[in-house]
Amino acid sequence: MKLYHAHSLINSSRLLSEKNPETFVKVDWVCYLRDEPLVPYDRLIENYHELAQTDKERIWVLRRANYLLSKQEIEELKLYLEKLYSFSIDVEEVKLPLKVDQIPQFKDEDVTGTIILRDRDEPFVLSVGIVGMVSGYRDLRNIRTVGELLGEIDLRNQR
C-alpha cells in the first residue's frame, strides 16, 4: 500500500485566526487518532522493533506515523476541500519504511491553529477524522533583501 502526505497553501485571510502575519499559511492535512495503522508498523517504520520502549516516546512515533493518508483518503479529501472550501491540495507519496527522523512532526511554536474537517452535521463526511495543522508560510518570491533571505533560511533550518 502506498501512503501520502498532503498539504494546502491558502491565503491566511480565509482563516478566522489572526495569528498568521504571513500572506499564506501551510495546512498539513493529517489523519487524527487512527485506530489501526494502514500498514503494519514493522513495514511502516524503519527499525520498528528497535524503537525506544518508553511509552511516551513510542506512542509519539506511532501516532505521527499514522498521520499519513491512503490513496482513498486523499481522493476523499480532495473532493471535500474542493466542494466545501475551494482549496486545492498538493500530494506527495511517502517512501516506506519511514525513518523516524522523517516522520511528520509539528513543533508547538510553528502550529498556529488547526482546521477540523469532520463535523457530524455536515452533509459530506470523510471516512476518517482529518485535521489541518496550520503554520505560517513565507513565499520566497516576496523576499526583497539578502538579510531577509538568510533569516528565512535560518528559520526553515530550525524546523
Where residue 90 falls among pLDDT bands split at 50, 70, 90? very high
pLDDT at site 21: 65
Check residues 18 and 70 and name the one with the higher pLDDT.
70
Predicted confidence at residue 102, as pLDDT, reads: 77
Mean pLDDT of the chain: 79
Domain that holds residue 45: 3-158
- 103: pLDDT strictly greater than 60: yes
Position 9 scores a pLDDT of 87
- Give the number of domains in the chain: 1
- Average the pLDDT over 99-114 and give the result: 66
Reference 126, options 156, 157, 81; nearest CA is 81
Kindly report the pTM of this predicted structure.
0.76
| Cell digits of residue 42 | 514493522
Q: Give the pLDDT band (50/70/90) at residue 146.
A: low
Looking at per-residue pLDDT, the higher value among 112 and 81 belongs to: 81
- Strand-pairing partners, residue 94, are 3
CB neighbours of 35 closer than 8 A, spacing ≥ 6?
A: none
Instruction: Supply φ then ψ for residue 82, to 5 degrees.
Output: -70, -45
**Of residues 153 and 63, more confidently modeled:** 63
pLDDT per position as a tens digit, 27-80: 889 998 888 999 999 999 999 998 887 778 888 889 889 999 999 999 999 998
d(CA 158, CA 142): 21
Which residues, at least 6 apart from 32, have a Cβ–Cβ distance to it below 8 Å? 67, 129, 130, 131
Sequence-ordered list of residues with C-beta below 8 angstroms from that of 24, at least 6 positions apart, any chain: 9, 10, 11, 12, 137, 139
- Which amino acid is it at 77? L
Per-residue confidence (pLDDT) for residue 148, from 0 to 100: 65
